[in-house]
Amino acid sequence: MAQQRRVQVAIIGAGMSGLCMAATLEDAGIDSYTVFEQADEVGGTWRDNTYPGLTCDVPSRYYTYSFRPNPDWSHFLPPGREIQAYFRQVADERGIRRHIRFGTAVTSARYDDGRWWLTTADGEEAFDVLVTAAGVLRVPRYPEILGRESFAGPAFHSSRWDHSVSLPDKRIGLIGTGSTGTQIIAELGGTVRGLTVFQRTAQWVFPVPNPRYSALGRAALHRFPALNRIGYRFWGWSFRFLFCRAVVQPGLRRRVLSSICRWNLRLSVRDPVLRAKLTPDYQPLCKRQVMAGHFYRAVRQPGVEVVTDPIDHIEPRGIVTADGTLRELDLLVYATGFDARAYVRPMQIVGPGGLTLDQAWADGPRAYRSVAVAGFPNLFMLMGPHSPIGNNSLIPVAEAQAGYALWWIQEMRAGRVVAATPTLAATDEYNQSMKAAMPSTIWVSGCSSWYLGKDGLPELFPWVPERHTELLRHPEPADFDICWSGASEPAVSGEPNAADRRT
């Protein structure tokens, strides 16, 4: 170990993927890393989002790090507060906190003279490797509505929920009916003075019950840790076998899931007028699939109104729709999603020769195998372009990407590699193969969603999740421009990375 090179690694973000990268380095015996987090706590999206009804749409047994099962989940689908507590616990157990600089935003990262120079309020600092783990859905998106700032009552984005505002006595206006909006409706419908839902696009809803795990079951998981591993593998296989394949492979799975969505609406909403409002004009699964067990029951409650007329403007008293109707409100909530293409922005990344990442991505984000970018040496992105965020749990995605970054970091530690960046040819070939595979996915069937990029194609992974894992398990040095150290020979591309050895 003493003969190995000390590689300084910078990780941007202490959310799920940033903690995953840090834990991966810890498992490899690497402590020369620094995590930059602009907030004052870990957790990322699960720290920021605290709205009523917040629940993950992935089974809790599968929404865990493979190296750290959690026997204490209370429900089949984990509540947001428990997920945040889980990530805080991982940071504590792994000793990651001592590497985190809280309240420190990185404004720019510049590659110069073989190192990445990061700029913060404290000045510049150099690192050998830069890993971005800023998350996928983190920058709130607000609608461009005339008079939005004029509303007299409290108004906030769903990811910036103000818990000082009481709810039961309020007439609440909710703009947006995506995954977040449906969860809020399911939680508040029938429990507040009034809930007016302004719906631009109807959503297909897949009925997923969320039963509570018993105390006896949790005790058994503590007593017999092997049960945790069995649960992780079973629910991971089930999730990938059913939902993850249905969106990328035509066939029986897709037809079955689509039929369940259609029958769920038909059987749950008997009022033909309300059902017409809630019926999408596109195929199920085309957008991010909404998972909810009691959304339709909540939307039928007294005091809940679904408005499909376009919003004309907002005034101090409430919202005025295109037909001239004013709906007076006490509270306004924007469940209008996030900038899905923010990636590392607003941080500026500058590669050799002054090429910025924004310039390299002028025609849209492009990466090599979702994790590296041509022309930017020693840069690895977790949840980068075309990650399988639409057809897998994000945690195994982050683990595969962190393991890939670790493989290259280990090559640098061993003194074989100084710097590596994927070639433009390999990047183009990979992106062309994805584009060729995209027509078989449900995402191109005609709906408009945040999945779509500038070219109208989804910025998602068009194959089954297992293929993504395989692509990252076996790095291909031939696809990279590499600065070798001395006369060292290239590493064997088929050697398993440390993440494989760990799991």
Q: Find, among 313, 308, 290, 298, the residue nearest to 199 by Cα.
A: 308
Those residues whose C-beta lies under 8 Å from the C-beta of residue 425, and which sit 6 or more positions away, are none
Please state the rounded mean pLDDT for residues 486-500.
42
> Phi-psi bin for 53: left (phi > 0), alpha (psi -120 to 50), beta?
left
Beta bridge partners of 291: 206
Q: pLDDT tens digit string along 118-155?
A: 999 999 999 999 999 998 888 899 999 999 999 999 99
Between CA 130 and CA 109 the distance in angstroms is 8
Q: How would residue 503 be classed by pLDDT, with cut points 50, 70 and 90?
A: very low
pLDDT of residue 486: 67
Q: How would residue 342 be classed by pLDDT, with cut points 50, 70 and 90?
A: confident
- Tokens at residue 293, please? 């067990």
Q: How would residue 340 be classed by pLDDT, with cut points 50, 70 and 90?
A: confident
- Tokens at residue 416, please? 């074989």
Give the C-alpha distances (Å, rounded to integers) separating 379 from 227, 365, 367, 369, 495.
38, 15, 11, 13, 21
- Asked if 397 and 62 touch (Cβ cutoff 8 Å), the reply is no
Q: Is 275 exposed, middle or buried (0-12, 13-18, 19+ CB in 10 A)?
A: middle
- The helix (run of H) or strand (run of E) holding residue 265 is helix 252-268
Between CA 182 and CA 267 the distance in angstroms is 18
- Tokens at residue 204, please? 């297909």
Q: pLDDT tens digit string along 69-78?
A: 999 999 999 9
Matching CATH number, 9-42+96-139+339-502, of 3.30.499.10, 3.40.50.2000, 3.40.5.10, 3.50.50.60: 3.50.50.60
Write down the pTM of the prediction.
Answer: 0.93
Mean of all residue pLDDT scores within the chain: 94
Please state the rounded mean pLDDT for residues 344-372.
94
* Domain map (residue ranges) of the chain: 9-42+96-139+339-502, 148-211+223-334
- Residue type, position 366, single letter: R
Q: pLDDT tens digit string along 275-307?
A: 999 999 999 999 999 998 899 999 999 999 999
- Do the bridges between strand 123-127 and strand 115-120 make them parallel or antiparallel, or are there none, so unpaired? antiparallel
Between CA 331 and CA 318 the distance in angstroms is 9
pLDDT at 502 over 60: no
Beta bridge partners of 188: none
pLDDT at 1 over 50: no
Between CA 279 and CA 256 the distance in angstroms is 18
Q: pLDDT tens digit string along 265-277?
A: 999 999 999 999 9
pLDDT of residue 454: 84
- Asked if 206 and 289 touch (Cβ cutoff 8 Å), the reply is yes
Which CATH architecture does the domain made up of 148-211+223-334 adopt? 3-Layer(bba) Sandwich (3.50)
Q: pLDDT tens digit string along 159-214?
A: 999 999 999 999 999 999 999 999 999 999 999 999 999 999 999 999 999 999 99
- Tokens at residue 493, please? 């591309």
Between CA 181 and CA 174 the distance in angstroms is 7
Q: pLDDT tens digit string along 410-459?
A: 999 999 999 999 999 999 999 999 999 999 999 999 999 989 988 888 99
Q: pLDDT tens digit string along 2-39?
A: 468 999 999 999 999 999 999 999 999 999 999 999 99
pLDDT of residue 2: 44
- Asked if 62 and 393 touch (Cβ cutoff 8 Å), the reply is yes
* Domains 9-42+96-139+339-502 and 148-211+223-334 agree in fold: yes
